[in-house]
Amino acid sequence: MVTITKVSRRDFLKITGVAGTGLVLGFYLPLKPDGYAAAQPLTNAWLRIGPDGAVTFWVHRPDMGQGARTALPMILADELDIEWPKFERVFLPAVDPQVYGSQTAGGSTSIRTSWVPLRTAGATARSMLTAAAAEAWGVEAASCRASLGTVIHEASGRSLSYGELAEKAATLPVPNYPAFKDPEDFHIIGKPTPRLDHPARVQGSLTFGMDVKLPGMLYACVARCPVFGGTVTGYDEAAARAVEGVRGVVEVPTGVAVLAESTWAAMKGRRALNCKFDYGEAADLSSAKIAELFDEKQGEEGYATRDDGDVEAALAGADRVLNAVYDVPYLAHAPLEPMNCTAHARDERCEIWAPTQAPQWAHGVVAATFGYAPENVALNIDFSGGGFGRRLMPDFVVEAVYVSKAAGAPVKVVWTREDDMHHDFYRPASRHILSAGLDGSGNLVAWKHRVVAHSIAATLHGGDLRQAAGEATSGATELPYAIPNCRVDYCMANTAVPVSYFRSVYNTQTPFANECFIDELAAAAEMDPVAFRMRMLDDEPRHRGVLELAAEKAGWGQSLPSGHHQGVALHRSFGTWAAEVAEVSVRDDGSVRVHRVVCAVDCGIVVNPDDLAAQAEGAIVIGLTAALKGEITIDEGRVVQSNFHDYPLLRISEMPEIEVHYIKNSENPSGIGEPPLPPIGPAVANAVFRATGVRVRRLPIRPEDLRST
């Protein structure tokens, strides 16, 4: 349901702080606000058309590089039918969620949840403007049409601009069911469109979190215990204060903050603290012990999230049974802009500047933690230098408010790369135990998949086993292949390692096991991997569509350069179907080189093809980094890795050629930021098998696992 309301001049000024007249519409975007109880549907985003014809759109989503602040106006501008980009964008701060609803950027939701509300808002305004023109001319509204900021009466040749009609339109009733444009008439949606912030980004004038400066602002770095759950027990305050530029030392719940006139002075002062720690109960935690925990848990009874047919009987009667175990590690988010936040906390009011993905979650937690009335917490959303799920968490925002309150001044808290690596909320580690049975004709008759994993739901939200299982088996439960007997279950294996959402969440893990094991079964059935998948997808036309497109564009089955081999994988997540073919070679030392990736997606109507390609490329790069390099290991209760020298990212010289293709249809848009990530790891692993004959069953892909060939 989308609720459209007219907004009075007084309310408009009260909410936005902008004076003006004309046609002002509020439209409700129906999502449950993060971190709050369900709210009544009230206005949460704003459209204004002034008497001068100026159009203003209040953008409600953060931008961390995904292009939402271009794509969302594209939807509204096209349905409203104005010229591109003749409007002003205003970026909403995080305020009461009962006014604005969810502003979270995560889960590939920005376009797919805003598509209908934004189209409704644009169509409503266009209908009211058309009705105003018809009334002015004394004609039927059906005889008038809107086009590029004007309403035209074809029969008489008369026209009026939106600005001339805005005041009159504001007096008319709001239509309940405004007519949407025919997609054939889109003139903005579906066209490759440069992002509106590109010029400012190139010129360096965009304000990221790191760029915020306030009068009288101090800089701070926080000394935290390196062991999960540990605390600071002692420090040398005098030594820190002796560092030039240091202005103070304050204790906060997360550790000890050094306040200084510059970030560099704060860093040096923190080093001088020479902190002592109580390492707590997790001091002996290690990757080896976590592996032992997984060994123990995988033998327990799992909580079933899918149980079709009789798997055990089908396995017992199969002509051939295959078994495999796959492991994936913890991962760090490692955005290029480390965590940072600027806060000015006073007794009754607090203002925050944060590059956050979930502004209202942070807003609500700050209000609750410090006892502020929600209306007395102002959170300004800065551009983010990457997030990938890390900036969903409110911890770095809350910490900055603590530091500011203790300092009695505005403070920017800056994390170093090492802080970010050691105090992340990591992508969970997991293990996947699979068994499958083939009949004499090579048909897949049974599938069993046990997921042993650290639970995000239980760790962050206290979710029960049912919730934890449903989340941790996502991507496994929805296996698309026609298998008459299929069971998926879950064994929870939590540790002291803090975990949270990573781009594609558990869909970065389950497809690796699914698609690698499907490839193993194809080989056992002596079938081509694409053909083996195709014959189990008769009832999955959109899966078939992306698989066929990827295979066609990659030249599957055709000759390749000497030493090159292809692997394929597909997966559906966040409402989008994606298939990828990776072309790789393996050197004598076991190192893997990915030369080319062909990606095909079906995400419904594509708002901005340029942005789709950029999002897919970014997801593939992260997926390749995870497949070839990414691993967080634990020793003595802490993360071993510290920076990009031991947690390397894919370099430009290692970047493959990437082609992105999409299926054109008229379905509503679905997610695109995350779905291209899941298939890339298994596609590369399957190509490695074709190159070496060695099955990759753990990530990252290690040269030592391949050198035997």
| Cβ atoms of residues 86 and 634 within 8 Å | no
**pLDDT band per the 50, 70, 90 thresholds, residue 40:** very low
Q: How far is CA 105 from CA 50, 102, 338, in A?
A: 30, 9, 18
Judged against a pLDDT cut of 50, whether residue 557 lies above it is answered with: yes
- 139 with 232, same domain? no
Which pLDDT score is estimated for 39?
A: 29
Q: Which residues are within 8 A (CB) of 488 and not within 5 positions of it... i.e. 6 or more apart?
A: 304, 305, 306, 307, 448, 449, 450, 451, 473, 476, 477, 479
Same domain for 613 and 507, yes or no, is yes
Residues 16 and 112 reside in one and the same domain: yes
- Round to whole Å and give the CA distance between 261 and 246: 6
Please give the C-alpha separations between residue 421 and each of 203, 470, 504, 636, in angstroms, as whole numbers.
30, 28, 20, 16
Strands 88-91 and 144-147: unpaired
Residue 327, judged by CB atoms within 10 A of its CB (0-12, 13-18, 19+), counts as middle
Using the predicted structure, report yes or no on whether residue 248 has a pLDDT greater than 60: yes
d(CA 285, CA 297): 17
Q: Read off the pLDDT band of 42 (50, 70, 90).
A: very low
> For residue 581, which of 560, 562, 563 has the smallest C-alpha distance?
560
| Average pLDDT of span 290-298 | 98
pTM for the complete prediction? 0.93
* DSSP secondary structure letters along 164-192: HHHHHHTTSPPPSSPPPPPGGG-SSTTS-
Identify which of 193, 293, 222 has the alpha carbon closest to the alpha carbon of residue 612.
193
Same domain, yes or no, for 82 and 148? Answer: yes
CB 484 within 8 A of CB 439: no
Structural domain contains residue 56 = yes
Same-domain check for residues 505 and 605: yes
The answer as to whether 200 is a domain residue is: no
In a domain, 501, yes or no: yes
- Alpha carbons 360 and 363: distance in angstroms, whole number: 5
Sign of CA dihedral 509, 511, 512, 517: positive
pLDDT tens track for 357-399: 999 999 999 999 999 999 999 999 999 999 999 999 999 999 9
- Is the pLDDT confidence value at 132 over 70? yes
What is the average per-residue pLDDT within 143-157? 96
pLDDT of the residue at 33: 33
By percentage, how much of the chain surpasses pLDDT 70? Answer: 92
> How confident is the model over 47-75, as a mean pLDDT?
88
* Cα–Cα dist 693/77, whole Å: 53
What integer pLDDT is reported at residue 567 of this predicted model? 98
Residues 154 and 258 in one domain: no
Looking at residue 619, its pLDDT comes to 97
pLDDT digits (tens, 9 = 90+) for 660-701: 999 999 999 999 999 999 999 999 999 999 999 999 999 999
User: Which of 194, 227, 245 is at the close of a domain?
Assistant: 194
Q: Which residues pair with 341 in a beta bridge?
A: 413
> What average pLDDT does the segment 482-499 reach?
98
Q: Is 18 a residue whose pLDDT tops 70?
A: no
Residue 199 maps to a domain: no
- Residue 326 makes CB contacts below 8 A (sequence gap 6+) with 431, 432, 434, 512, 513, 516, 517, 697, 698
pLDDT digit string (tens) for 322-348? 999 999 999 999 999 999 999 999 999
Examine the domain organization and report whether 346 and 439 are in the same domain.
no
Distance CA 626, CA 680 (A): 10
Tell me if 75 is assigned to some domain.
Answer: yes
Average pLDDT over residues 123-135: 94
> 202 in a domain, yes or no?
no
Looking up tokens 């950029």, which residue turns up?
Answer: 614
Last residue of a domain, one of 414, 440, 465: 414
For residue 30, is pLDDT > 70? no
The alpha carbon dihedral of 384, 603, 670, 464 has a sign of negative
Q: Using the predicted structure, report yes or no on whether residue 1 has a pLDDT greater than 50.
A: no
pLDDT at 411 over 70: yes
Domain match, 624 and 690 both: yes
pLDDT in tens, 611-654: 999 999 999 999 999 999 999 999 999 999 999 999 999 999 99
Nearest to 547 by CA among 526, 520, 518, 586: 518
Is residue 420 included in any domain, yes or no? Answer: no
pLDDT at position 171: 86
Domain of residue 15, CATH code: 3.30.365.10
Instruction: Pick the more confident residue, 46 or 170.
Output: 170
* pLDDT band, very low/low/confident/very high, at 14 (cuts 50, 70, 90): very low
Which residue from 76, 78, 85, 90 is spatially nearest to 29, judged by alpha carbons? 76
**512/15: higher pLDDT:** 512
349, part of any domain = yes
Q: What is the pLDDT of residue 51?
A: 87
Give dist(CA 586, CA 563) in Å, integer. Answer: 8
Residues 11 and 150 grouped into a single domain: yes
Residues 481 and 596 in one domain: yes
Alpha helices in 408-540 (DSSP H): 417-422, 456-461, 465-472, 510-524, 529-534
Q: What separation, in Å, do the N-terminal and C-terminal C-alpha atoms of the chain show?
A: 59
Domain count within the chain = 3
Q: 345 is in which domain, residue-wise? A: 209-279+339-414
Predicted local confidence at residue 708, as pLDDT: 55
pLDDT of residue 23: 63
Do residue 317 and residue 344 come from a single domain?
A: no
**52-61, 232-241, 402-411, 448-457: range with lowest mean pLDDT:** 52-61
Q: Mean pLDDT of all residues in the chain?
A: 92
Residue 687: both structure tokens together: 């190509």
Distance of CA 604 to the CA centre of its chain: 18
Instruction: Give 336: exposed, middle or buried? Use CB within 10 Å, 0-12, 13-18, 19+.
Output: exposed
Candidates 425, 350, 419; CA nearest to 390 is 425
Pick 20 or 355 by higher pLDDT: 355
Among residues 145, 166, 194, which one ends one of the domains?
194
Q: pLDDT per residue over 73-118, tens digit each?
A: 999 999 999 999 999 888 878 765 565 567 888 888 889 988 988 8
CA distance 605 to 139: 35
Confidence band, pLDDT 50/70/90 cuts, at residue 264: very high
Both 275 and 294 in a single domain? no
Residue 176: other Cβ atoms inside 10 A: 7
Q: What is the C-alpha to C-alpha distance for residues 119 and 27, in angstroms, rounded to an integer?
A: 10
Per-residue pLDDT at 19 exceeds 70? no
Over residues 491-547, the pLDDT tens digits come to: 999 999 999 999 999 999 999 999 999 999 999 999 999 999 999 999 999 999 999
